[in-house]
């Protein structure tokens, strides 16, 4: 691949075309870049048109797709799954993948099948790298250099982010610079960029006034134009030129070639439109959804005790994302106290309340929405002091894995960047999976049926972050919160620090681990009985 790109002068005024016309000239072998964040800001109409063109004509063929993060939900907003067609897709590089079961069809995403069956070249990069790489393409740099991810799955010593056997090319290299090791991501040109915004005027000027996120749309446009590429933008509406203040226009029309209007595009999964996600209209806190009773809510309630006021806190997917909702339910944000809690996610929404499920990545009632590339400057710069993240596996060497396990290939998302650069880490998740059933009764936890798969494994299947190294070498503090036990991650291993009432330490904890904690507190504290109520009682936060 080329490591230098040539510039192209800004083009003519953009024109409004159909989605089919916008993708009609994409040639065989092109690199097509696009972005969405699950359902958020996904240019679904244009991606569908490209997939439909291939289905009808068997062209174009052998495309490389570049998605800085998982785009679409593979269901109602299919996103990257529209182009997951053997023959159309030769290679994909993505910051994350999604693997939900469609409730209607019962099937998992077609893209996951192509990866599992080794039908395409599939690579997964940490989202921080996938975002910052665009900046290097845009400024015609040779590549992106970073310390983030050394010793993890993206390091060439541990696979280089390759997710299929067909993925043989070395897209990431380990290099030495001034005596220090770095990961290096060489740049290559983009041929087509597919964006999404809220509105465009007749000249193609783009604004994002009713989107919950901006993500990497600006970076994509700049990288594409530096590569001499076409830029296609999907929008909800056309507005008159001059109708918006210049600071509201985030991408100049001189950088946009084609406009596709989709007046009915969904805001995100299950949400046609809700201005509370960009604070066009603030939602009263008592209207926020309440996490369902069960292990995730219990875990979130315990982890909420680690959240501190006026400390920038970042939350990952899963039980971690339920933490702010549990805090809201407990009344901790009442009487204006929400302003004391500084919440964000890896995608740039600041303030308000982090949402969970398909609405994850955006916040209700945010105060600001930052561009995606700058958000990873925030993360990699260590400004998110506290992070609550999920875990799929935690092994005897202190390695946490969320990137690849069993038949799932979700990638790291923003996990590696966040975990490596936060000062305090809380990993949240159930102790076992695949069939776990629990009941809370009489202030105790009863394990009706344990999961078939323990998450505490001798050796993780993928290295997403080396937690013990962070504790030992960089002074990080880390803990694991499950429904039945709490652990501290010490420099020499796991320390069992709390046990749920009603849980047998030997049968339900130690015998379900493939390795032993290095220490067990004696006496072993019992988790607060207030956690084992429905709903969880208000809890004091750490100071």
Q: How far apart are CA 237 and CA 379, in angstroms?
A: 33
| Cα gap 279→82, rounded to integer Å | 31
Active site residue 483: no
464, 373, 462: which is closest to 427 by C-alpha?
A: 464
Catalytic residue among 110, 346, 488, 498: 346
Instruction: Using alpha carbons, list the distances in angstroms from residue 307 to 218, 288, 489.
Output: 32, 19, 18
Give the helix/strand (H/E) hosting 223. helix 217-226
Question: What is the 3-class SS of 1-48, one letter each residue?
Answer: CCCCCCCCCCCCCCEECCHHHHHCCCCCCCEEEECCEECECCCHHHHH
Three-state secondary structure readout of 270-321? CECCCHHHCCCCCCCHHHCCCCCCCHHHHHHHHHHHHCCCCCCEEECCHHHH
Q: For residues 82 and 72, is the Cβ–Cβ distance under 8 A? A: yes
Place of tokens 């997917």: 317
User: Which H or E run includes 239?
Assistant: strand 237-239
Q: What is the DSSP string of 378-447?
A: HHHTT---EEEEE-SEEETTSEEE-S-BTTB----TTHHHHHHH-SEEEEE--SEESS-EEEEETTEEEE
CA dist., res. 326 & res. 35, Å (int): 30
Phi, psi of 113 (to 5 degrees): -65, -45
d(CA 384, CA 187): 28
Within 13 Å of residue 2, how many CA atoms lie on the same side as its CB?
Answer: 12
Handedness of CA 513, 514, 517, 520 (dihedral sign): positive
CA atoms of 390 and 189, how far apart (whole Å): 34
Burial 269-307 (b: 16+ CB within 10 A, else e): bebeebebbbbeeebebeebeebeebbbbbbbbbbbbbb
Residue whose C-alpha is closest to residue 538's, from 393, 310, 337: 337
List the one residue out of 360, 335, 347, 342 whose CA is nearest residue 285.
Answer: 335
User: Which residues are CB-contacts of 8 (< 8 A; sequence separation ≥ 6)?
Assistant: 225, 226, 227, 228, 229
Query: Look-up: residue for tokens 């109409």?
Result: 45
Site of tokens 């596996």: 393
The pair of three-digit structure tokens given for residue 265, joined into one six-digit string: 């595009």
Dump the DSSP string for 460-478: -SS-SEEHHHHHHHH--EE
How many C-beta atoms surround the C-beta of residue 62 within 10 A?
12
Instruction: Cite the active site residues.
Output: 346
């Amino acid at each position: 691949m080329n490591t230098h790109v040539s510039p192209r002068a800004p083009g003519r005024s953009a024109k409004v075309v159909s989605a089919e016309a916008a993708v009609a000239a994409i040639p065989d072998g092109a690199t097509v870049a696009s972005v969405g964040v699950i359902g958020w800001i996904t240019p679904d109409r244009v991606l569908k048109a490209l997939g439909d063109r291939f289905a009808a004509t068997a062209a174009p063929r052998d495309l490389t797709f570049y998605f800085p993060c998982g785009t679409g939900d593979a269901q109602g907003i299919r996103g990257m799954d529209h182009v997951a067609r053997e023959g159309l897709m030769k290679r994909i590089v993505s910051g994350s993948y999604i693997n939900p079961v469609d409730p209607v069809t019962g099937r998992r995403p077609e893209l996951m099948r192509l990866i599992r069956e080794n039908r395409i070249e599939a690579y997964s990069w940490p989202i921080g790298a996938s975002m910052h790489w665009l900046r290097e393409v845009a400024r015609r740099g040779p590549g992106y250099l970073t310390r983030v991810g050394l010793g993890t799955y993206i390091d060439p010593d541990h696979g280089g982010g390759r997710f299929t056997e067909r993925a043989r090319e070395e897209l990431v290299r380990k290099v030495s610079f001034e005596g220090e090791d770095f990961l290096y991501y060489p740049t290559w040109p983009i041929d087509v960029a597919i964006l999404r915004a809220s509105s465009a005027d007749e000249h193609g000027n783009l604004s994002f006034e009713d989107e919950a996120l901006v993500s990497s749309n600006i970076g994509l446009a700049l990288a594409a134009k530096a590569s001499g590429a076409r830029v296609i933008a999907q929008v909800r509406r056309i507005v008159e030129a001059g109708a918006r203040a210049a600071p509201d226009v985030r991408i100049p029309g001189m950088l946009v070639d084609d406009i596709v209007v989709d007046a009915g595009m969904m805001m995100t999964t299950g949400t046609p439109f809700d201005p509370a996600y960009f604070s066009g209209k603030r939602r009263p806190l008592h209207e926020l959804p309440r996490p369902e009773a069960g292990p995730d809510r219990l875990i979130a309630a315990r982890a909420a005790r680690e959240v501190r006021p006026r400390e920038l806190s970042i939350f990952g997917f899963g039980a971690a994302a339920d933490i702010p909702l549990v805090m809201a339910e407990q009344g901790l944000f009442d009487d204006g106290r929400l302003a004391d809690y500084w919440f964000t996610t890896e995608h740039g929404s600041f303030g308000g309340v982090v949402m969970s499920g398909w609405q994850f990545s955006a916040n209700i009632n945010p105060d600001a929405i930052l561009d995606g590339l700058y958000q990873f400057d925030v993360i990699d710069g260590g400004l998110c002091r506290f992070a609550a993240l999920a875990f799929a596996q935690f092994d005897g060497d202190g390695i946490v894995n969320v990137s690849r396990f069993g038949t799932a290939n979700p990638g790291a998302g923003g996990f590696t960047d966040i975990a490596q650069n936060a000062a305090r880490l809380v990993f949240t998740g159930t102790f076992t999976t695949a069939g776990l059933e629990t009941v809370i009764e009489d202030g105790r936890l009863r394990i009706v049926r344990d999961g078939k798969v323990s998450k505490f494994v001798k050796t993780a299947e993928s290295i997403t972050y080396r937690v013990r190294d962070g504790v030992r070498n960089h002074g990080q503090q880390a803990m694991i919160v499950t429904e039945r036990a709490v652990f501290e991650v010490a420099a020499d291993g796991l320390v069992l620090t709390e046990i749920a009432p009603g849980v047998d330490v030997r049968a339900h904890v130690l015998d379900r681990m493939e390795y032993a904690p290095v220490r067990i507190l004696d006496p072993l504290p019992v988790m607060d009985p207030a956690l084992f109520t429905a709903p969880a009682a208000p809890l004091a936060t750490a100071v």
